[in-house]
Amino acid sequence: MEPVAWSSASGRDNIEDALRRVGGLPDDEIDLAETALLIAALDEPKASLDRYVHHLSLLTRDIAEEGARLAAHDSLAGRLEAINGIVFGRYGYQGDEESYDDLDNANLMRVIDRRCGLPVALGILYIHSARAQGWPIEGLAFPGHFLLRMECGGERAIIDPFNKGARREPDALRGLLKLVSGNDVELRPDHYAPCGNRQILLRLQNNRKIRLLQAERGDAALETIETMIMIAPAQADLWREAGLLNAELSNLRAAIVSLENFLQLAPGNHRERPAAEQYLRQLRNKLN
């Protein structure tokens, strides 16, 4: 991804244009931390992102220096020690257990300011830090609690960014899964599936959307879904969500457009197609 001219990215229209450009990129060209900062800037469109970008560069520099001191390129343990020592040690990042549902925990600007956040927000910083060194790392599609996987020299480790980069073995993962999904759920291969850059960003925003809906802030939740559509315009279910919420908020024309987009993108066997088609007919009749 070409670097964003951060000084020109200020202003809501410019930020949204930049996010739509992200929506047109192949997944492996998306810069996670850069895009997460752009999303965060929608809450403060006149704020400068320069100091946050500078902070990311400091993380990169300090981990490179610590990695050289530890010869971290030689082992997975060394790489983990280098990242954990800088991110959680020197800079004091931690999971926010006291105010977990605070919306700031899903805003990367505020996470950097406060040095705490949700697992996925901290995971984005961790991924950025590792990839800047050329170290392979990926997010995992583990339900309810974002985890990472790093590897080096044939060795792999699953890492919990919410708990200061602790390694998680199968027994701990099984316990965590039951905590978030219920005692009847067992570990499956899809729980370890890699999560692409776009899906990580959507997961970050989904945390925000859920909290806004729980607080009955429908307008703000809709704005969040619209942001998600900017970076993932081909994801049919987002258009369906936008359609239903627009209808609930009496934005009938916007609801119709959103549901039409859903039906264009959704496969023929999508389980929500029949209900969406029926609802779309009802909305069109209301406008006639």
Give tens-digit pLDDT for 189-202: 888 899 999 999 99
**Side-by-side strand order, sheet with 194-195:** 166-167, 155-160, 147-152, 137-140, 194-195
Per-residue pLDDT of the chain (288 residues; tens, 9 = 90+): 444 444 446 688 999 999 999 999 999 999 999 999 999 999 999 888 999 999 999 999 999 999 888 887 789 999 999 999 999 999 999 999 999 999 999 999 999 999 999 999 999 999 999 999 999 999 999 988 999 999 998 999 999 999 999 999 988 888 888 888 888 888 888 888 999 999 999 999 999 999 999 999 999 999 999 999 999 999 999 999 999 999 999 999 999 999 999 999 999 999 999 999 999 999 999 987
Question: The tokens 């492996």 sit on which residue?
Answer: 28
Give tens-digit pLDDT for 119-175: 999 999 999 999 999 999 999 999 889 999 999 989 999 999 999 999 999 888 888
> CA end-to-end span of the chain, whole Å?
45
Q: What angle do CA 212, 214, 218 make, to 5 degrees?
A: 50
* Closest alpha carbon to 139 in 165, 120, 112, 114: 120
Contacts for 62-66 with beta carbons within 8 Å, 24 or more apart?
A: 62/86, 62/90, 63/87, 63/129, 63/132, 63/133, 64/132, 64/133
CA distance 113 to 94: 12
CA distance 175 to 56: 33
117 with 111: CB under 8 angstroms? yes
Question: The tokens 């949204």 sit on which residue?
Answer: 16
CA distance 173 to 186: 10
CA distance 3 to 6: 8
Q: What angle do CA 88, 144, 269 make, to 5 degrees?
A: 140
